[in-house]
A = this chain, B = another copy of it.
Amino acid sequence: MIVTPQSMHFAEALALQSGASIRGYALAYETYGTLNADKSNAVLICHALNASHHVAGSYEGQERSEGWWDSMIGPGKPVDTDRFFVIGVNNLGSCFGSTGPMHVNPDTGRIYGADFPVVTVEDWVHAQARLLDRLGIQSLAAVMGGSLGGMQALSWTLQYPERVRHAVVVASAPNLTAENIAFNEVARRAIVTDPDFHGGHFYEHGVIPKRGLRIARMIGHITYLSDDVMNEKFGRQLREGIEAGGDAAAGAPRKRSVGEYLYTTQDVEFQIESYLRYQGDKFSEYFDANTYLLITRALDYFDPARRHNGNLAKALAPATAHFLLVSFLTDWRFAPRRSREIVKALLDNRRDVSYAEIDAPHGHDAFLLEDARYLGVVRSYFDRIGKEVSTDGPPLGAKAHSGGSAAGLPANVGATSQ
């Protein structure tokens, strides 16, 4: 499936939860499949920390450009784009296409930097709702997301209950624990105290706080994986390729006798160190430091029960959607018990809830990976949704799969083809 990113500009100001507002912003998005005549087959996908509107498919002429949930979404896949019109949207504050801290503030003419307004899950949902308005979509067959994306899906059912028929909330939580916040805070401190951060205005200095971003990503990676999968993948293996007499890695500072320690405090000794350093380096090349602060803060702030004295059942009372929740047994970041809190609160409200705990070994990362049981659960849930959706083709006047302009929709909507 070849896809094309698009962008929608919003001139009018969006009021934010903090009391601030933002105007003249753009949202990047992609769509897959075709909107049907009664516009009842739209599925919105919300992304997590390190992701974007590029959810599925590939870009023309770009190898390995599959979207981050390409195993889940596409023609014949669990969320079947032959049946559903799927929308991926990049959130405000991101560094992947929507307006973010690296863009110019129209009120000042200067790059936002650290002055980009603090955005919350609720703000993102409002912005997504405006995008749907412009796409002419009143009601979603489903909203779906994993991790922070799951928080957005849950929030949709509270902020716009009448616009959501199903919510699919994967590997998520009703709020962060103190430990979750703690990990976010250490990552933020690493970024903010990097001398190249310059109070968040590093763009003007022509530098990037890469040291801090590397540390942030390394911490993140540890929390995404399970202890078991780390032991299985890396265990206590020593770094490869630097045995004396073997093929030394380029620039490897020292060589080891087979199976011997190098006895070093600063060089890589174990494979897990090599892996984490690589992940950190890669991340620091493409991720924006201010975006990292904004998105981890949105995670920290999400807490629908907060205005109900911690009573989640009360907080979820407005939700009328049907729910599928999925968690993974080895996920210690957003553990199954956190999903069960949501399930219980929904059941207390006599809502329709399906819930699956998947015995996958991969920890939090499992929500992005191919696991037959996991994909099967989502497939059968979307089969059920599909039965409620008419299959009578695209809206009148629109050309399906053609890149043409649909009636009442801006050019390019539904223009992605397979």
Contacts and interface: CB of A to CB of B under 8 A. Distances in A.
Interface in A265-308: 265-266, 269-270, 272-273, 276-277, 280, 290, 293-294, 296-297, 300-301, 303, 306
A273 B195 contact: no
A303 B294 CA distance: 41
B186 A222 contact: yes
Contact of A177 (B175, B177, B186, B230): B230
B188 A218 contact: no
Contacts of A118: 263-265
Interface residues of A, dominant DSSP: helix
A236 interface: yes
Contact of A183 (B190, B222, B235, B264): B222
Contacts of A233: 178
A255 to B, nearest CB: 14
A214 B227 contact: no
A20 B266 CA distance: 17
A266 B186 contact: no
Contacts of A114: 265-266
Interface string A205-235: 0000001001100110110010100110111
A193 interface: yes
A181 interface: yes
Interface in A9-23: 17-20
Contacts of A153: none
A239 to B, nearest CB: 12
A116 to B, nearest CB: 9
A330 to B, nearest CB: 12
Given A263-B17, A265-B293, A189 B214 contact: yes
Given A181-B272, A261-B301, 18 more contacts: A175-B236, A177-B230, A178-B231, A178-B234, A179-B222, A181-B270, A182-B222, A183-B222, A185-B276, A185-B277, A186-B219, A189-B218, A189-B280, A192-B266, A194-B211, A264-B297, A265-B293, A269-B297
23 contacts: A19-B263, A118-B264, A175-B236, A177-B230, A177-B231, A178-B231, A178-B233, A178-B236, A179-B227, A179-B230, A182-B222, A185-B273, A185-B277, A186-B215, A186-B218, A189-B215, A189-B277, A219-B219, A264-B297, A265-B290, A265-B293, A265-B294, A266-B293
